Amino acid sequence: MTDEFEKELEIIRKTRIEEITMAKDSKADWPGEPVSITDKDFQSFVKRYPYAIVDCWAPWCGPCRMLGPVIDDVAKDYTGRIAFGKLNTDDNQATSAMFEVMSIPTLLFFKNGELVDRTVGAMPKQALEIVIKKHL
């Protein structure tokens, strides 16, 4: 009985080590900061991650510059759970038009490659996290 118990414990231990290793490896694939994306790689970005948020912005936009540090901070906090992308709307008008981005900053929330929500305008970290937690 002791040998069977020890064998089972060893199997459980090995299984758990594999789970932890896989979790660490998969988390390493997630960006810890926002990634610049373009019209060309937009679809692959939102489909690659189960949950992605795309910040539609432009360099001349004051509210976009206010939201930028919030996005950077939240991207670090949610590494491994959410991928953040930044889409310059001036340089990537096809994607902006496809999602009818009329005002910036606009955040597009994707789950499994599908648009599930959007917000328009700058917001504090706490407000952004409320929207994020609604979809996680």
Active-site option among 37, 46, 52, 61? 61
The structure tokens listed for 119 are 């917000």
Question: Is 64 marked active-site?
Answer: yes
Q: SS3 for 114?
A: strand
Catalytic residue among 52, 54, 64, 67: 64
- Which single residue is written with the structure tokens 């496809």? 98
- Measure the CA–CA gap between 86 and 54, rounded to whole angstroms: 6
56 assigned to active site:
no
Rounded to the nearest 10 degrees, the angle between the axes of helix 125-135 and helix 62-77 is 60
Neighbours of 126 (CB within 10 A): 8
Which residues are tagged catalytic? 61, 64
